[in-house]
Amino acid sequence: MTGKEEPSGTEKLSTSSLDELAANTLPVGTVLQDRYEILGILGLGGMGAVYRARDRRFVSSERLCAIKEIVDLIPDPATRQVNLVNFEREANLLATLSHPAIPKIYDYFHEGNRVYLVLEFIDGEDLEAILEGTQSFLPEREVVDWAIQICDVLTYLHHHQPEPVIFRDLKPSNIMLTRAGRIVLIDFGIAKLFQADKKGTMVGTEGYSPPEQYKGMAEPRSDIYALGATLHHLLTRSDPRLETPFTFQERLPRAINPNLSGEVETAIMKALEYELEKRPASAEEMKRLLLNALGTESAGISRSALLGRLATVTSLKDRTTQLVWQFNCEEEVRSSPAAVEGLVVVGCYDNNLYALDAETGAFRWKFATEGGIASSPCFWRDAIFVGSEDYNLYAVSLTGKLVWAYHTNGPVRSSPRVAHDVVFVGSDDQQVHAVDARWGKNVWRYVTWRPVRSSPAIYEAVVYIGSEDEYVYALDAITGTAKWKLHTMGGVISSPAVSQGLVFVGSLDRNLYALDADSGFAVWRASAEGYISSSPATDESRVFVGSVDKHLYSFDQKTGKLVWKFVADGQITSSPRLSPSALYFGSVDGYVYSLETKTGKLRWRFKTGGPVPGSAAISRDVVYIGSTDHKVYALRA
């Protein structure tokens, strides 16, 4: 059982105690102290009701007041006594306060077994009700104007002599807006004092309270935090009582409501710092921050500030990188280069496999096949393997001489991978081929029902590969027998990536799948708005993939939750490649992009003369990538 403070199962949720309170409210028409006539209920609080009442001493005018009652449900007499003393002390303190944003106290009395407090009646609505009464975001200007008024009253309270008064419980439902647009704080922590010993509310979060309040500490900057939390709620409509506690830092206001100004966001997030020293030092400082935010929004400087902001955005989009070299082929380059030991090799639709000097881009040699090369080469010892549309898988020496050719019954558009001295590759002949890497002899074939253009991933002696027959296959690398296969709802051109026991692969059914590498069961799927023919890349915790919906996505491997997405100007069929801190991919919009792996922020983009469907190879801080403009580019990473 949870809620173990109590010796036996007698905990009460707030709902049940509310029911009890509701059953105990005073009926309309009740007259207290022969003076206050109950007209109705304004609300139910934790410890009793708040009534709308009329003061009968003012016979000819209808003088309204709010009457707050405290129904003491705490069975323990000692605790009840402490609460009463605290309540009385607080009421006395309130009586010394005088500020337009604080309701006046008129009276205080006991009647029956209840305590009553007579307060100024505030004709208006609380901010929670206002928020619930609207569908769209509240206007920023108006909310900031309320916040400035709240700063004023907090300043008054925090400068109270002999001791500062800490409101302790600032939140939208404790802030009233009068019909005249004036802010009034209600519920002066009295109920809170009473609630301090309440037990057994096992579920629920205060949402607006700062961390130090959980250590029983409250000081002026605690109210600043609660104001920040209140503003966050009002401007984003995301209720902190429903969100995971203490996640404001992960839910930046502008990520939820992009219309907000950066200055307002900065002020709110500063107020929401966990460390007291990092928050605005006082309500006055908070007010200054908010005034400044309003100033930049409305004053004459706004135009230039706006232009400045636009300029930064443009310049970011224009940030490019250094071209190290470029090389012209005779046809489109749709495949991806491979780089090793000073050599970059790349296949081209002009039927040639080119070998270039990695440093200078100088032509070294070319190896001619009988068909276009859509397959990406791979290195193994002193050989290079590549598939061609002439139905062959080739092994070529590092000097460009044929070592062996292996014939399949269809174009080889899949890219070969080597493990255990065996080359694995798919073919349009619908088969997955395992070929002895030394001699080019067949080891096994596995038959699927459609062309295999996906490239294999080999992990712990299992070959993972997709087929256009909509299946993802796990084949025993040694025997070629299926360990499992999983059906997706679209062709699988994307090549699997394996990380932490999961196989990630995209499908033309628009999903990225995470499959259990052992059993092949789908663990999760994340959907895009378009086909995923791009092949995923992984780091230790995330998986990255592009889609023809123009987005490059980053998902958490364990949960499948979206971490970030980046939108390019064109479709992404290229597969992301990772360096320790950045990722690289091409787009049909003609650009090669580099993003920060962690955040998805654009680092640079480089314009080529045609769509870039191929993927990059990265070696020694240089990115090698081909484009349909017939060129191979070497770019500074």
Considering the complex, state which of residue 334 and residue 413 has its C-beta at the smaller distance from another protein: 413
Considering the complex, state which of residue 56 and residue 420 has its C-beta at the smaller distance from another protein: 420
Give the per-residue contact string, 355-394, with another protein (x = CB under 8 A; - = no). Answer: ----------------------------------------
Considering the complex, state which of residue 96 and residue 247 has its C-beta at the smaller distance from another protein: 247
Q: How far is it, in rounded angstroms, from Cα 462 to Cα 474?
A: 6
Q: How far is it, in rounded angstroms, from Cα 436 to Cα 97?
A: 89
Considering the complex, state which of residue 89 and residue 558 has its C-beta at the smaller distance from another protein: 558
Q: How far is it, in rounded angstroms, from Cα 448 to Cα 493?
A: 13
Q: At a CB cut-off of 8 Å and minimum separation 6, what does 570 contact? A: 550, 587, 588, 589, 590, 591, 611
Stretch of 147-155, 351-359, 429-437, 624-632 contacting another protein, by CB under 8 A? 429-437
Q: Is 403 strand, coil or helix? A: strand
Least separation in angstroms between residue 190's CB and another protein is 21
Stretch of 181-189, 259-267, 357-365, 445-453 contacting another protein, by CB under 8 A? 445-453
Task: Report which residue type is found at 228.
Answer: G
Stretch of 225-233, 242-250, 348-356, 618-626 contacting another protein, by CB under 8 A? 242-250
Work out which of 37, 516, 539, 596 binds another protein, going by CB under 8 A. 516
* CA distance readout (Å), 422 to 48, 347, 385, 417: 78, 21, 11, 8
Work out which of 64, 482, 578, 602 binds another protein, going by CB under 8 A. 482
Work out which of 23, 78, 180, 203 binds another protein, going by CB under 8 A. 203
Question: 258-297: which residues touch another protein (CB under 8 A)?
Answer: 274
Least separation in angstroms between residue 513's CB and another protein is 7
Q: How far is it, in rounded angstroms, from Cα 151 to Cα 432?
A: 70
Work out which of 407, 525, 603, 636 binds another protein, going by CB under 8 A. 525
Q: At a CB cut-off of 8 Å and minimum separation 6, what does 80 contact? A: 72, 74
Show the CA angle centred on residue 420, arms to residues 418 and 432, nearest 5°: 55
**Listed residue (59, 56, 70) closest to 26, CA to CA:** 70
Considering the complex, state which of residue 115 and residue 419 has its C-beta at the smaller distance from another protein: 419
SS3 readout for 68-122: EEEECCCCCHHHHHHHHHHHHHHHHHHHCCCCCCCCCEEEEEEECCEEEEEEECC
15 lies in the binding site for another protein (CB under 8 A): yes
Work out which of 202, 269, 340, 563 binds another protein, going by CB under 8 A. 202
244 lies in the binding site for another protein (CB under 8 A): yes
Give the per-residue contact string, 246-265, with another protein (x = CB under 8 A; - = no). Answer: xx-x----------------
Stretch of 151-159, 205-213, 332-340, 604-612 contacting another protein, by CB under 8 A? 205-213
Q: Which helix (H) or strand (E) holds 291?
A: helix 283-298
Work out which of 350, 518, 589, 596 binds another protein, going by CB under 8 A. 518
CB atoms within 10 A of CB 552: 23
Q: How far is it, in rounded angstroms, from Cα 473 to Cα 220?
A: 62
445 lies in the binding site for another protein (CB under 8 A): yes
By CB under 8 A, the count of residues binding another protein is: 68
CB atoms within 10 A of CB 463: 25
Work out which of 369, 431, 533, 547 binds another protein, going by CB under 8 A. 431
136 lies in the binding site for another protein (CB under 8 A): no
Considering the complex, state which of residue 521 and residue 620 has its C-beta at the smaller distance from another protein: 521
Q: What is the DSSP letter of 398?
A: T
Task: Give me the residue label for tokens 């939390």.
Answer: 229
Q: What is the DSSP letter of 255?
A: H
Q: How far is it, in rounded angstroms, from Cα 355 to Cα 367?
A: 8
222 lies in the binding site for another protein (CB under 8 A): no
Least separation in angstroms between residue 194's CB and another protein is 17
Q: Are strands 591-596 and 582-586 parallel, antiparallel or unpaired?
A: antiparallel
Question: 545-564: which residues touch another protein (CB under 8 A)?
Answer: 558-560
> CA gyration radius for the chain?
35
Give the per-residue contact string, 396-425, with another protein (x = CB under 8 A; - = no). Answer: -------------x----------------
Least separation in angstroms between residue 515's CB and another protein is 9
Residues 507/513, Cβ–Cβ less than 8 Å: yes
Stretch of 23-31, 378-386, 511-519, 597-605 contacting another protein, by CB under 8 A? 511-519
Q: Contact residues for another protein (CB under 8 A)?
A: 1-5, 7-13, 15-16, 19, 201-205, 211-212, 214-215, 242, 244-247, 249, 274, 409, 429-431, 442-445, 447, 449, 478-487, 500-502, 513-514, 516, 518-525, 558-560
